Structure 1
């Protein structure tokens, strides 16, 4: 079938699915979210699923992910499991607030919306919309305009729940929040999760998101996260993606930063059949700082695609982008990084780098750094490298009595450490360093932290 016709058929099926299940979708959500659905669906039908002719998706087959169309779980109580009892993937020595999400919903036995110290709110997005509509009215679906593509609108049309985080003005959350984000079903499943994080003036928080699949089925997660940082807010976001080789994960993260705010994000992709991470940041206030880091380790036929767009709209702002990848076997990947400096954004400092190591002749990576500068008093740079392990460094290590395998591992870990070192929480940094080391050694096939042993599902 012609690709365009196939896409149109898929989009038509998605519209029919929405129409048929609209009552169910809206019953398990909040009025404020429901009011956005019709317009979002119409926008999705106009934009469609991005194909390879869309420049930013040139190297990733998005339409193929939606055909055949997967089942959607539209009722949060359908999965019955005591996740706290069976899943204990917390980071040792890291004192965290732990939140569980199953297929985009909080489990039935969870507290819908918790109040932590300093009147911090964390929990269900749908519940937050019911209890605090004034917060969502101001922030929900307000920051996606940086990239109003079809898949974001598809999420807005279908999303019923997800994670909500609110840090009031002047509150600095001492303990990190850890989110264990699980996909589990008896068959293939599509998930539409929506997250909203709001940080008030002079506030601070750290959030850790761990993505897992607890079954060997094909999961397609189309997730949207909106983040607002008010003046002088500080936010550290770490994400570990460790899903099975049948899974596909599309993540859209939108951040708006006001004056003197700082956001640092670290995304570590350990496993996943196909992963597409979209990062968008609008530096809207003077002296805002954004640091976006990513590490992807892939093998077999895995495909990892990272896209970042940092928009400097105010003067005296700083951004740093660093993405690194190690690709083995027949793995493929892509990186597109874009920096835009608007005319009034003088004194901007923006740096971007993408470095890749290919361990085989069959591994492939496409990298495209971009600068779009309309101001004249700026310091900006971008670059990309694709290569193999340094033979001179290998020779040096082997001449010191280190065997070939260990020498390769040492060089790969040193390459990856640039990203790991930017993780702000020391116990988390140590734990992720251990996971990366095991992944590079090929030992991340079994995790014994709980009864699930979910690591074995990656192979």
Structure 2
């Protein structure tokens, strides 16, 4: 039996329970998702675009799903504290896929802002949710269709037109319990006309004693003139697996800044597709991954310029040590309808050991002559001359290597615009390069 079959069989056996414990708007999407999965298999290393990461292998282990919506078993106020010093946020948790707000969250939100569970949003604001939910997500993508088939809850962020949210919204993803688990989460982000928001998501795992899998799909809508800064940070154990999809639609004059940060992971595959559907958009996508031991980080970013006069820039950097593996696939598509596009992509990587491996594939698809586009990739070791110079100045080799790796990541870290977060990231990356566990403040959800 292939890995996908076990999930479709699970759905067939428990579809009534899944629907009974999920909002009606989600249930309406399941028949199309089930149909899309017929005759399909999860991608493996023989599938184009997945040559280095097998999702079939990732999703084969038997993990529990909280179909009956059982409550979490510990006190969030004492068991989980994700504290980023100097970063003030409006915070909520996703325990598995269950949205748990911090005390008084609703009272602290500006008028009209929605930051709540997907189930509650579907019930209370169906006129806002229904036109957007499931519209960007591509059901031809097997993990996306599987998420749509099994998802029962998640989170919704809606920023009404003209609202500028000063404090970042923070979602902390954690797992509850001492057994292997799978969380199927759905996030919907709506930033309406001339509104702006900052969102920080943090993935944590509590221990390395059992395997957890997160299968997450995020749909983000940026209406005309909207601005969204989103930072996705992962700090999970070696036994964990993560498969994440982010779909973004940008309308005229909107601005997106996205940062994908992997401080530690087990096996991770992140996919991001950004559709530029209006003129004069700006898109900046940055990513960084630090992997040691036998950990594995794979990022795929696709930017599709569908309308003229927009600008995009992608920068991804990896530092790999020991037997770690990294992969990056980046694509820029410029449609015939998108003249005067500027689009740039760069992937730079450092192998800190002779046994680490990096695989990179940048791509351009340009169907218009009136554009300025470029892409590039480079993988190498630390600069031996710089190391030698630093050692002649009395800096120990280990310290010199750490300083060079920190400097290598600096431009990605500097691109993080959430107030206070860049400084915290500098500290966390320094800890990782020193071989310490990079814990966000005093967070025992590690």
TM-score normalised by length of structure 1: 0.93
1:53-85, Cα deviation, whole Å (9 max, x unpaired):
221111111111222332212233332222133
- 1:3 aligns with none
Report deviation, 1:425. 2.1
The SS at the match of 1:144 is coil
Aligned match of 2:93: 100
- 1:206 is aligned to 198
1:276 partnered with 2:265: no
Q: 2:246 pairs with 241, 245, 253, which one? A: 253
Can you give the 5+ residue segments of structure 2 that lack an aligned partner in the other structure?
none
Q: Distance in 1 between matches of 2:237 and 2:119?
A: 28
5+ long unaligned stretches in structure 1: 1-5
1:229 matched to 2:225: no
CA contact (8 A) 1:48 1:151 kept: no
SS at match of 1:98: strand
Tell me the distance in 2 between the aligned counterparts of 1:52 and 1:272.
20
Q: Which of the two has greater helix per residue? A: 1
Which one has more relative contact order, counting CA pairs under 8 Å at least 6 apart?
2
Aligned residue for 1:281, secondary structure, equals strand
* Equivalent-residue separation in structure 2 for 1:115 and 1:426 (angstroms): 19
Aligned partners of 2:229 and 2:107: how far apart in 1? 20
Task: Give per-residue Cα distances to partners, 1:361-416, cap 9 Å, x unaligned.
Answer: 11001000000000101010000001000111111212222111111111000001
State the alpha-carbon separation in 2 of the partners of residues 11 and 273 from structure 1. 21
Residue equivalent to 2:293: 300
Alignment: residue pair count: 445
Say which SS state the counterpart of residue 418 (structure 1) adopts.
Answer: helix
Question: Which residue is equivalent to 1:174?
Answer: 166
Per-residue CA deviations over 1:258-300 (Å, capped at 9, x if unaligned) read: 0010010111101111010101100000011111110000011
Greater Cα shift, 34-43 or 328-337: 34-43
- Corresponding residue number in structure 2 for 1:164: 156
* Equivalent in the alignment of 2:377: 384
Q: Secondary structure of the equivalent of 2:70?
A: helix
Q: Distance in 2 between matches of 1:114 and 1:328?
A: 46
Mapped pair 1:79 → 2:72: yes
Distance in 2 between residues matched to 1:403 and 1:186, nearest whole Å: 42
Task: Please show how residues 393-408 of structure 1 align to structure 2 within 5 Å.
Answer: 393-408=386-401
Aligned to 2:123: 130
* TM-aligned CA distance change 1:91 to 1:231, over 3 Å: same
Give the conservation status (yes or no) of the 8 Å contact 1:115–1:121.
Answer: no
SS in 2 for 1:138: coil
The residue correspondences of 1:404-419 to structure 2 (distance < 5 A) are 404-419=397-412
Is structure 2 residue 21 aligned with structure 1 residue 38?
no
Mapping 1:271-420, distance limit 5 Å = 271-420=264-413
Distance 2:258 2:56 in 1: 28
Asked if residue 436 in structure 1 is aligned to residue 413 in structure 2, the reply is no
Return the match for 1:11 from 4, 17, 33. Answer: 4
Is this contact kept in 1: 2:85–2:441, CA < 8 A? no
Deviation at 1:301, TM superposition (A): 0.5
Secondary structure of 1:57 counterpart: coil
Deviation, structure 1 residue 191: 1.3
Spell out, residue by residue over 1:10-41, the C-alpha distance to the aligned partner (whole angstroms, 9 max, x if none). Answer: 33321121122212211221111101112202
Per the alignment, do residues 437 and 112 of structure 1 end up closer, same or farther by CA in structure 2, a change over 3 Å counting?
A: closer
Q: Answer whether contact 2:185 2:217 (CA < 8 A) is retained.
A: yes
Provide TM-score, normalisation by structure 2: 0.96
Range with bigger deviation, 439-448 or 28-37: 439-448
Task: Supply the distance in 1 between the matched residues of 2:26 and 2:373 (Cα, whole angstroms).
Answer: 39
Deviation at 1:446, TM superposition (A): 6.2
Q: Using the alignment, how far apart are the partners of 1:405 and 1:215 within structure 2?
A: 28
Residue-by-residue CA offset, 1:335-376 (whole Å, 9 max, x unaligned) = 000000000100100000000000111100100000000010
- 1:183 paired with 2:175, answer yes
Alpha-carbon contact 2:44-2:57 (below 8 Å) kept: no
- Report the Cα offset of residue 93 of structure 1: 2.3
Give the conservation status (yes or no) of the 8 Å contact 1:208–1:238.
Answer: yes
1:153 aligns to 2:145 (yes or no): yes
Q: Which moved more, 1:116-125 or 1:41-50?
A: 41-50
> CA, structure 1 residues 301+333, in 2 after alignment: closer, same or farther (shift >3 Å)?
same
